[in-house]
């Protein structure tokens, strides 16, 4: 099948299919005589795997690792589980950071009457914070 149909079936855009191939995440697709890429059900399954792992927030780097683990029938399941749990921990950390920011923002918004008047504690605090402003660490 052509790239368009593979895209529809897998939920990965044609653009991204070519990109994944280009960066070596996926093996180069077979070509027809006219130069068009030719996909089979197996390639579509691979693309679906990639889409699902991407949907779960894994980076392409991690997807690559998962693909390798997937094709290695003898690897211990421990490795896969470790990757999944590291990702969960990362999500937890980021959620904690975002919650801290929300707390600060809610505190600021609460004191701002938010009407026609011009004085605004939010801006005042951004200019010279009183107490609980959040300084998050490096993002990944």
Partner DNA sequence: GTTGACCTTCCCATTGTGGGAAGGTGCAGG
Partner DNA sequence: CCTGCACCTTCCCACAATGGGAAGGTCAAC
Q: Which does 2 bind (CB under 5 to 8 A by kind): a second copy, DNA, none?
A: DNA
Beta strand residue intervals within the chain, DSSP E: 30-31, 37-38
Minimum gap (Å) between residue 89 Cβ and a second copy: 10
Does residue 120 touch DNA according to CB under 7 A?
no
Residue from 9, 10, 11, 13 that binds DNA (CB under 7 A)? 13
State the SS3 of 46-71: HHHHHHHHHHCCCCHHHHHHHHHHHH
Choose between 2 and 132: whose C-beta lies nearer to DNA.
2
Q: Which does 4 bind (CB under 5 to 8 A by kind): DNA, a second copy, none?
A: DNA
Q: Rounded to whole angstroms, how far apart are CA atoms 89 and 37?
A: 39
- Show the binding pattern over residues 89-108: x = contacts DNA (CB under 7 A), - = does not: --------------------
Give, as ranges, the residues between 33 and 72 that touch DNA (CB under 7 A). Answer: 33-37, 54, 59-61
Residues 83-118: b if buried by 16+ CB within 10 A, e if exposed = eeeebeeeeeeeeeeeeeeeebeebbeeeeeeeeee
Does residue 137 touch DNA according to CB under 7 A?
no
Length of the chain equals: 140
The two tokens of residue 6 are 């593979």
Q: Which does 93 bind (CB under 5 to 8 A by kind): a second copy, DNA, none?
A: none
What residues line the site for DNA (CB under 7 A)?
A: 2-5, 13-16, 18-19, 32-37, 54, 59-61
């Amino acid at each position: 099948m052509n790239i368009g149909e593979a895209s529809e079936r897998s939920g990965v855009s044609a653009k991204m299919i070519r990109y994944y191939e280009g960066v070596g995440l996926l093996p180069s697709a077979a070509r027809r005589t006219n130069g068009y890429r030719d996909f089979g059900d197996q390639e579509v399954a691979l693309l679906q795997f990639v889409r699902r792992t991407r949907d779960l927030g894994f980076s392409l780097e991690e997807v690559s690792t998962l693909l390798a683990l997937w094709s290695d029938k003898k690897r211990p399941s421990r490795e896969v589980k470790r990757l999944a749990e590291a990702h969960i921990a990362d999500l937890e950390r980021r959620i904690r950071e975002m919650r801290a920011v929300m707390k600060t923002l809610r505190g600021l918004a609460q004191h701002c009457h938010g009407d026609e008047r011009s004085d605004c504690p939010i801006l005042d605090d951004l200019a010279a914070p009183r107490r609980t402003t959040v300084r998050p660490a490096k993002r990944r």
